[in-house]
Chains A and B, each alone.
Chain A
Amino acid sequence: MNRRTLLKRTLAVSAVGVAASAGLLTPGQVLAAYPKGAFEAKDTAGALSGAVGSSSFEDSGDIKIKAPDIAENGSVVPVTISTGMAAESITILADSNNSPLVGSFNLQGAEPFVSTRIKMGKTGNVLAVVKSGGKLYANKKEVKVTIGGCGG
C-alpha cells in the first residue's frame, strides 16, 4: 500500500465515524422521552395515559384495523391501521398482553397509515388509538390466538 491510498482510506474511515456519531446523537435526544412507564403499565388505561397523556377516548368507526380474525402464531400478528382523520399519532395496544402497550407512532409528517407485526400472548382485542385534533379516538378488533407469542 502506498502513501496515497493509505491517506484516502484514513479519510474515508474518519468520515464514516463522524456520520455515525451524528446519527447516534439524534435518536439519543429522543430517547430521553421514551415512556418506559407506559410500556410497563399492566392495564390499557395506564398504558394509554403514559403514551398519549390521556386514557379517555371516543369510539370511532373511521379507524380501520386490518388484522386476522384468527392468528395461528401469536408472535407474529400482522396489523394495519388506517384512518380518514388527520392523525397526529397512532397507538397500538393489545389488551390481553401482560403490558398492553405495543407501540406508538407519531405521524405528524406522515399519512394516517401504519402497518407492522405485533406479538399477542393470548386471544384479545387489538386496540388502535388515534390522536386527532387533540382528542383520542379508538377502535378495536378481536384476534383469536391459538399459540401465544409472549413468554415461553
Chain B
Amino acid sequence: MAKSIKIRAKAKNGIVTVKALMNHPMETGLRKDKKTGKLIPAHHIQEVMAKSGDTTVMDAVWGGAISKNPYLSFKYKGAKGDDLTLSWVDNKGNSDAVTAKVK
C-alpha cells in the first residue's frame, strides 16, 4: 500500500505546521452491514508516527473514533528543507509511510 498519505509541511518562524490526510476506512467494529445485518469488523489506524530526520516529533495512538480518511495537523520546531516522515499502522498490521520535504 502506497500513497495513502497526503502531507504538507510548511515552516514559518521556526515552527513547522504539518497537515496530513490519510486514506483509511476507520471502521469502529460497531457498525452493521445494512444488507447482511452483520457487524463490520474493526479496521482502523492504531499508531501514527512523525519523524523529522531520525527524531520522533509526534506519535499518537488512535481508536476507531477518529473519522474516516483521517485528517491530522500538528506543529513542531523545525526548518525549511528538513525531511518529515509520517507513518501509520492499523489493527490488521497494514502500514504506510511517506516522506516529504518541509517547505
Point out residues on A near B: beta carbons under 8 Å. Answer: 23-24, 26-28, 30-31, 34-35, 39, 51, 75-78, 80, 94, 97-99, 101-111, 113-120, 149-152
Contacts and interface: CB of A to CB of B under 8 A. Distances in A.
Given A27-B47, A27-B88, A111-B77, A35 B31 contact: no
A111 B13 CA distance: 13
A23 B95 contact: yes
A34 B59 CA distance: 11
Contacts of A152: 31-32, 34
Closest 8 CB pairs of A and B: A115-B73, A109-B57, A111-B75, A117-B67, A110-B76, A39-B63, A27-B89, A105-B60
Consensus secondary structure, chain A interface: mixed
Residue in B15, B65, B75, B89 with the greatest tally of chain A CB atoms within 10 Å = B65
Interface of B: 15, 28, 30-32, 34, 46-47, 49-50, 52, 55-68, 70-77, 87-89, 95, 97
Contact of A119 (B32, B57, B65, B72): B65
A75 B68 contact: yes
Contacts, number: 123
Contacts of B73: 80, 113-116
B23 to A, nearest CB: 14
Contacts of B47: 27, 30-31, 34
Nearest to A30: B47
B30 A103 contact: no
B67 A77 contact: yes
Contacts of A26: 49, 87
B95 A97 contact: no
Contacts of A101: 63, 65
A51 B47 CA distance: 13
B63 A28 contact: no
Contacts of B72: 114-116
A42 B43 CA distance: 19
A57 B75 CA distance: 25
A121 B63 CA distance: 14
Contacts of B88: 27
